[in-house]
Amino acid sequence: MEVNNAVLRLAVPEDAPKLLELVMELAVYEKAPEEVRTGPEEYRNGLQSGLFQAIVVELPNTGIVGMALFFPYFSTWGGKTLYLEDFIVREPFRRFGFGKLLFDAFLETAIAQSARKVKWQVLDWNEPAKSFYKKYGAKMIAGWENGVIQLDDQC
């Protein structure tokens, strides 16, 4: 599989169903497919409104094989940050360099958008992902836990 044939581009609203497919694949890998509550319209609307952006990696005659979905936020201690919500390369296309291509593009986008840092979460058992990020000098921060309130359960 040739990384040289890959095309990197920003996702457009018409990519929404494919982005959701990738998210579902990631959710299955993370053993939580039932937790995906979004639909293609939310992705389409999010892309149209600028709520988030996604960089996709696309192959000729194959289509989108991976994505990095992210959005900006302001850290009171660190300034502008890009939060990487989901980063996935489809299983058959892993270990060919597509992930590196995509992650490098994400980091370049963060620099171009004047972000001072990037941030993401990784499951504690996902050693392949942690190993990938550590090659970039990433630090996994112990001692912080995620707080979540699922608001649509309360409506």
What's the Cα-to-Cα distance from 104 to each of 59, 67, 94, 99, 124, rounded to whole Å?
17, 12, 15, 8, 23
3-state helix, strand, coil in the chain (%, to 5): 40, 25, 35
Q: Assess whether 133 carries a catalytic annotation.
A: yes
Per-position DSSP letters for 3-26, written without gaps between them:
GGG-EEEE--GGGHHHHHHHHHHH
Residue 64: CB atoms within 10 A of its CB come to 19
Residue of 43, 73, 133, 136 marked catalytic:
133
Residues with catalytic roles = 133
